[in-house]
Structure 1
């Protein structure tokens, strides 16, 4: 995500590496190979990713350092293995999810050439916007084709470690707790906080999903994590990146993330995305748009639950929350 004032503030600072540590991390795939260049990739706001160019290698590699620990690294590796050949993503060249080499969980991924979707949309005409959104919808349907036994958070082997009840009260409690006693109220202000909490209480009962099928969710399915490239007269997704937030739940969760920016895009953005999703085999409940917007409040409330001020992030998130509150849901 970015604003007109620049990229949003990171959740975690970049992890810096001294040359000796970098050498040890690259040794499993490139022992004795000189590093020509190394630069941080600015797309993610949690983990640290470096583009590394190696002497004699035809393309760079991506060195990915996990801040969420071994469990997150194992889950991402398991998802990449399960979806290989069905969802475009980088090749996993090496992984040390337990941090045995340098005490830091990390992976080395192939470099995938492409333009982040949010960057492509910044200069796209309506036809390009529609083509990119349609391609993204098809890929999301392929991800959601992975059925899960129930909603919940994953164990390292993708079994469900922490099931979710699916009760609307669970959704309402999470959003509310991010605002009060969480830090969200500090950035929303008293009037907006009161309005949001009332809105959440009003819609809690309707958010019950007990008995609905659960699918694999990317859980960060938006512009910076989708690399796009031209494909003939159209566009395609070159790679889906950054699976560290993945869990099992309602497909409307990912859809809400992708459509978060729909008010800033031509009408073809949302229309083509849903058309692509359905063309790829995805199915949606009749009230999918309403559910998508309400589920995205889980993300937006979490973005506000920070003890420190993040002016660009908070301003953007509040704008999205206001848009949801003003909708006739």
Structure 2
């Protein structure tokens, strides 16, 4: 038996989690969140990387305290495990539709500040985090472009050769714009209302969750994620106001850079259209962007 369960913890799936690996645990009267890394797609040090990231940003962003980290133990057949505190708050994707324009703007300002803080944490190079020391392993240089890497999968989902060529040209223009920003930063890479907890009364962010895809990359990536699907005018104004207050970028320029940075995610998601609602919606949005 897993030692965590042997200690008397009861596990229930975390509401809203899609991985099937995240649970709320109740042990000794304390409720915690348990992530069990059973999917083989996880890197070897996934639990340690997330734990280190949470420690890195704690005090700058509202993230849960780390209670326990366990490395994978192949000999014992035990997967990696991460236990954190359970934070209060309401998921942003549930809260945003209930707000009037004034509330949407306040929420936008709160979540925009999170993206702005992340973009202000500089790194020396782009790449993936390789271990618990947050060593950056640079992304491969050269080789096929991002669109070429996904061309086959997109074609299988009905993209014509003409649409793929138009996407490649659009992607090249977007990359030229991204290249005008000559630095990298910490990127959460899944920063959207679903992964943010907020106080429903004050609309302050109480938790930034799910750091599984965090890496070192383009500073506008998280801003693009925040604006990908949620387009309420007051919310967008709030997000961009917080960004401008910290980084000085005007709204039009910020939106253009955010959309360019988000193309990477849209292409990858579109290549998996039909696998989940987010991927399908991203595919529809990418087609609209290209044809516009």
Which TM-score band applies after superposition, normalised by the shorter structure? 0.7 to 0.9
Quote the offset at 1:110 in angstroms: 1.0
Once the two structures are TM-superposed, the CA of residue 121 in structure 1 deviates from its matched residue by 1.2
Question: Counterparts of 2:242 and 2:33 in 1: how far apart (Å)?
Answer: 30
Partner residue of 2:242 out of 276, 281, 285: 276
Other-structure match for 2:155: 185
TM-score normalised by length of structure 2: 0.86
CA distance in 1, matches of 2:98, 2:216: 34
- C-alpha change, 1:188 and 1:126, in structure 2 (3 Å) is farther
Equivalence for 1:25:
4
RMSD across aligned positions (CA): 2.7
- In the alignment, which residue of structure 2 is the partner of 1:76? 50
With the length of structure 1 as denominator, give the TM-score of the two structures. 0.77
Deviation at residue 102 of structure 1 after TM alignment = 5.0
Is contact 2:269–2:283 with CA below 8 Å preserved after alignment?
A: no
What is aligned with 1:15? none
Correspondence list, 1:95-110, <5 A: 95-99=69-73, 103-110=78-85
Q: In 1, distance between residues paired with 2:105 and 2:291?
A: 26
Q: Which residue of 2 aligns with 1:175?
A: 147
How many Å separate the matches in 2 of 1:42 and 1:175?
34
Q: Check whether the contact 2:243–2:249 (CA below 8 A) recurs between aligned residues.
A: no
Residues in 2 aligned to 1:228 and 1:304: alpha-carbon distance in whole angstroms: 29
Matching residue of 2:171: 200
Q: CA deviation at 1:198?
A: 3.7
Structure 1 position 312, deviation (Å):
3.5
Q: Distance in 2 between matches of 1:282 and 1:43?
A: 32
- Equivalent positions of 1:1-329 (< 5 A) are 20-21=1-2, 24-26=3-5, 31=7, 33=8, 35=10, 38-46=11-19, 48-54=21-27, 56-57=28-29, 59-66=30-37, 67=39, 68-99=42-73, 103-156=78-131, 157-163=133-139, 173-178=145-150, 180-181=151-152, 183-190=153-160, 192-208=163-179, 212-231=182-201, 234-263=202-231, 265=232, 267-279=233-245, 281-284=246-249, 287-306=253-272, 309-310=274-275, 312-325=277-290
**Structure 1: tracts of 5 or more residues without a match:** 1-19
Give ranges in structure 2 of 5+ residues lacking alignment.
none
Contact preservation (8 Å) 2:147, 2:167? no
Question: Given the superposition, is the C-alpha separation of residues 221 and 203 from structure 1 closer, same or farther in structure 2, using an over 3 Å criterion?
Answer: closer
Contact 1:25/1:102 (<8 A) preserved: no
| Structure 1 CA distance for aligned equivalents of residues 9 and 221 of structure 2 | 43
Deviation at 1:236, TM superposition (A): 0.6
- The alpha-carbon distance between structure 1 residues 202 and 237, as it changes in their structure 2 partners (threshold 3 A), is closer
How far apart, in 1, do the equivalents of 2:211 and 2:205 lie? 16
SS at match of 1:70: coil
CA distance in 2, matches of 1:74, 1:208: 32
Rate the CA distance shift 1:283–1:245 in 2: closer, same or farther, 3 A: farther
1:258, 1:43 → 2: CA distance?
A: 18
How many pairs are equivalent?
Answer: 285
Whether the aligned pair in 2 keeps the contact of 1:140 and 1:277 (CA below 8 Å) is yes
Query: CA separation of 1:203/1:81 partners in 2, compared to 1, >3 Å: closer, same or farther?
Result: closer
- From the superposition, tell whether residues 282 and 230 of structure 1 become closer, same or farther in structure 2 (CA, over 3 Å): farther
Asked whether the equivalents of residues 150 and 214 of structure 1 are also in contact (C-alpha less than 8 Å), the reply is: yes
